[in-house]
Structure 1
Amino acid sequence: MNSSKTNRILFWSATILIFLFEGVMPALTSQTALAKEGIRHLGYPEYFGNALVAFKILGVIILILPKAPKRLKEWAYAGFTFDFLFASISHFAVDGLHFETFFPLIVLAVLMVSYIFYHKSSTVINLKNN
C-alpha cells in the first residue's frame, strides 16, 4: 500500500470517528434529559449546550466536506481542540479525576490523527498539482 493511500485511510478513519462522536451523537441525544443534566452538572446553562451542539454539527460538516476551504477546516480543528480541552478541564474541576476527565483527551488524540493526516494528504495533493 502506498503512503498516499495510507494517509487517506488514516485521515478518513479518524475523521469519521470524530463525525460520529461530535456530530451524529450530539445531534441525536442533545435534547435528552441525560444530556441536559450533564450540561447542568458542569455548571453551564442549557443554552450553552444547545450552542455547543450547533457548532459541533457545523464543525464536523466542514471536516468531512473535501472541498471546504482550508481556513474553515483549520477553524473547525481549533474549535474542537478547545472543546475537548475545556471539557476535560470542566470535568476535572467538578468531578476530579475520573474517566470523564480523560475521555475528551482520547477524542482529542483521534482529532489530532485526523489533523495530521489531513495535512499529509493535502501536501501530497499539492505536490502532484505542481
Structure 2
Amino acid sequence: MAAKATRIVYWTTTGLIFLFEGVMPALTSNTQIAIEGIRHLGYPDYFRILLTVFKVAGALVLILPFVRQPYKEWAYAGFGFTMIAACVSHWAVDGFGGQAVFPLIVFAILVASYHSYHRLEVQSKL
C-alpha cells in the first residue's frame, strides 16, 4: 500500500475511533441513557466515570501525533479490551444482537487503525 493511502486509512480510522471513543463518551457520559445503560449491564456508576476518563485520555493519545509509540500501544490495547468486554457484557445481559455487534465493528476499525499505524512507522524508517 502506498504511503499516501496508508496515511488516509490511518487518519480516517483513527479519526473514527477518536469520535466513537473520545468525543461521544465525553459529551454523553452524564446523560440519563448512559447512566441507565451502565446500570442495566450491572456495573456501578463509578465505572461509567472511570471508563469515560480512560476513553477520552486514550483517544487523545491516539490522535495526537507527538505521543510516542509505547503510549499508543497501551491505548490500542485498552480500547481493544474495552470493545471485547463491551461485546461480552451486552451479549451476557441482552443476548447476541445489535448492542453486542456494534463493539465488534468498532474493534474492526481499531484493528485497521493499529495496522495502518504500524505500516506508517515502518514506512517512516525507510
Considering only aligned residues, what root-mean-square deviation do their CA atoms show, in Å? 0.8
Larger Rg: 1
Structure 1: 5+ residue stretches without partners: none
Structure 2: 5+ residue stretches without partners: none
Q: Which residue identity lines up with residue 8 of structure 1 in the other structure?
A: R
Q: Name the TM-score, length of structure 1 as normaliser.
A: 0.95
Indicate yes or no: 2:7 matched with 1:8. Answer: yes
C-alpha distance in 2 between matches for 1:30 and 1:83: 15
- Provide runs of 4+ in structure 1 moved above 4 Å: none
Alignment match, 2:32: 33
Alignment match, 2:52: 53
Alignment match, 2:108: 109
Q: Which residue identity lines up with residue 14 of structure 1 in the other structure?
A: T
How many positions carry a matched residue from both structures? Answer: 126
C-alpha distance in 2 between matches for 1:52 and 1:43: 14
C-alpha distance in 2 between matches for 1:119 and 1:67: 15
Alignment match, 1:85: 84
Q: Name the TM-score, length of structure 2 as normaliser.
A: 0.98
Q: Which residue identity lines up with residue 104 of structure 1 in the other structure?
A: P
Q: Which residue identity lines up with residue 15 of structure 1 in the other structure?
A: T
Give identity over the alignment, percent. 54
Q: Which residue identity lines up with residue 89 of structure 2 in the other structure?
A: S
